[in-house]
Amino acid sequence: MNSPSTQFVSSRRMSVYDPIHQINMWGENFKSNGNLGASMPLIDESNLKFDNQSEDASHGVLGTFKTYDREANKPVANKTQRRLAQNREAARKSRLRKKAYVQQLESSRLKLMQLELELEHARQQGLYVGGGLDSNPLDFPEPVNSGITIFEMEYGLWVEEQNRQILELRTALNAHIGDIELRILVEGIMNHYSEIFRMKSAAAKADVFYVMSGMWKTTAERFFLWIGGFRPSELLKVLLPLIEPLIEQQRLDLQNLGKSCQQAEDALSQGMDKLQQTLAESVATGQLIQGSYVQQMASSMEKLEALVCFVNQADHLRQETMLQISRILTTRQAARYFLVFGEYFQRLRGLSSLWSNQPREPA
């Protein structure tokens, strides 16, 4: 007969991942356009409640021996206090880094607004000076898409912060720091990826074709592009073998997660194919009305708005997959996974740089 603690561990393990529930959840999110702003906690509340109840029970049973054990528990208490102080210091540094990162983004936005004002002022002066009959409006640049410009500036800062986090995580793993400190770093990385999904959602509203084309990524990254980003099931296959060994239950949960990812990806890909076909038919049947296709293109523009939904849903799938991985793996395994995850994209960017800079013979 299993002990109560064994039953608890078993029930927690079974609740880590339910592939049927996950598929249904992604399906409902796909219908309702999801919510990228919502994030699921990395530490389950049931764990916190269990720990609190255990602490209360221990105080009740051992309270009469408190005085007797005080001297014996001093070394343990001192070690716990040091650990808590280290955790508070790590959290404080994390908050400071996040504050500096946000300040950088805000500074970039202000610089962009100033550039737009200067550009608009220059345009007005040019139109005034050269506004005669011979002036050609095509000589002036098209309006700048401020949403995309902001995204490019933010993304550059995002990559810099990602590189810093990867270095910090690699150093922490090599130093064999405790799981609590590692958990803080893992949660910081998860929050950082949530930020890029938020940024992409805003950029898709500004120009969904830009996001879909992956022009904000390097050439090697674009080679693996799927609906504006990476394909979750493929990275599961490539990266998870690098963090072995895994216990059998973890391996089973990750296999189920990969199958669920594949099903969700197939559903999104089929939806994209259908939208592409419908859009092609809409454009092909357009008629020239009073020298313009504008009226006919209005219906096609409505269909294009669905592309934003596809980008958001693909990012939602990516985010949910990362969250599930962090639940299935232990803290140290999750730290190793996000290290190889970040290094994978660093290598792709490095490959793009090597390819573009290699010497080529003249034709």
All structural domains of the chain with their residue ranges? 84-129, 146-356
The pLDDT of 1-18, averaged and rounded, is: 43
Please report which confidence band the pLDDT of residue 233 belongs to, taking 50, 70 and 90 as the band edges. very high
> H or E element: which one contains 204?
helix 179-206
Which pLDDT score is estimated for 151? 93
Which pLDDT score is estimated for 56? 41
Q: What's the start-to-end Cα distance of the chain, in Å?
A: 77
The pLDDT of 245-270, averaged and rounded, is: 96
289 vs 61: CA distance, rounded Å: 86
The answer to whether 341 touches 211, Cβ cutoff 8 Å, is no
CA distances from residue 357 to 217, 253, 261, 283, 351 in whole angstroms, order as listed: 17, 42, 36, 40, 10
- Size of the chain, expressed as the number of residues it contains: 363
Please report which confidence band the pLDDT of residue 344 belongs to, taking 50, 70 and 90 as the band edges. very high
Helix (H, G, I), strand (E, B) or coil at 342: helix
**Poorest-pLDDT segment among 49-63, 90-104, 180-194:** 49-63
CB atoms within 10 A of CB 65: 10
| DSSP assignment letter at 149 | H
**Poorest-pLDDT segment among 99-108, 195-204, 310-319:** 99-108
The pLDDT of 33-42, averaged and rounded, is: 38
Average pLDDT value for the chain: 74
Q: Is the pLDDT of residue 212 over 50?
A: yes
Provide the whole-model pTM. Answer: 0.64
Q: What is the CA radius of gyration of the chain?
A: 26
The pLDDT of 281-304, averaged and rounded, is: 66
**Poorest-pLDDT segment among 84-88, 128-132, 208-212, 249-253:** 128-132
Give the phi and the psi of residue 138 in degrees, each rounded to 5. Answer: -70, -15
Q: Is the pLDDT of residue 8 over 80?
A: no
The answer to whether 162 touches 310, Cβ cutoff 8 Å, is no
Please report which confidence band the pLDDT of residue 255 belongs to, taking 50, 70 and 90 as the band edges. very high
Give the phi and the psi of residue 82 in degrees, each rounded to 5. Answer: -65, -40
The pLDDT of 336-359, averaged and rounded, is: 94
355 vs 146: CA distance, rounded Å: 31
Q: Is the pLDDT of residue 20 over 70?
A: no
101 vs 186: CA distance, rounded Å: 17
Which pLDDT score is estimated for 41? 35
The structure tokens 């005085």 sit at 67
Which pLDDT score is estimated for 99? 66
CA distances from residue 112 to 53, 147, 363 in whole angstroms, order as listed: 53, 10, 41
221 vs 351: CA distance, rounded Å: 9
Please report which confidence band the pLDDT of residue 360 belongs to, taking 50, 70 and 90 as the band edges. confident
Which pLDDT score is estimated for 207? 92
> C-alpha angle 309/318/161, rounded to 5°?
110
Which pLDDT score is estimated for 129? 37
Q: Is the pLDDT of residue 298 over 90?
A: no
Which pLDDT score is estimated for 119? 60
Q: Is the pLDDT of residue 290 over 80?
A: no
Nearest to 46 by CA among 79, 4, 8: 8
Nearest to 203 by CA among 276, 161, 146, 272: 146
Continuous H helices in the chain = 4-16, 19-32, 45-62, 66-69, 74-129, 146-174, 179-206, 208-213, 219-223, 232-239, 248-284, 294-328, 331-357
The answer to whether 211 touches 203, Cβ cutoff 8 Å, is yes
**Poorest-pLDDT segment among 16-25, 157-166, 300-309:** 16-25
Beta-bridge mates of residue 289: 292
The answer for residues whose C-beta is within 8 angstroms of residue 151's C-beta and 6 or more apart is 199, 200, 202, 203, 206, 216
Beta-bridge mates of residue 141: none
Which pLDDT score is estimated for 16? 44
Q: Is the pLDDT of residue 338 over 50?
A: yes
**Poorest-pLDDT segment among 29-38, 145-154, 263-272:** 29-38
Work out whether the CA dihedral 287, 290, 292, 297 comes out positive or negative: negative
Q: Is the pLDDT of residue 107 over 70?
A: no
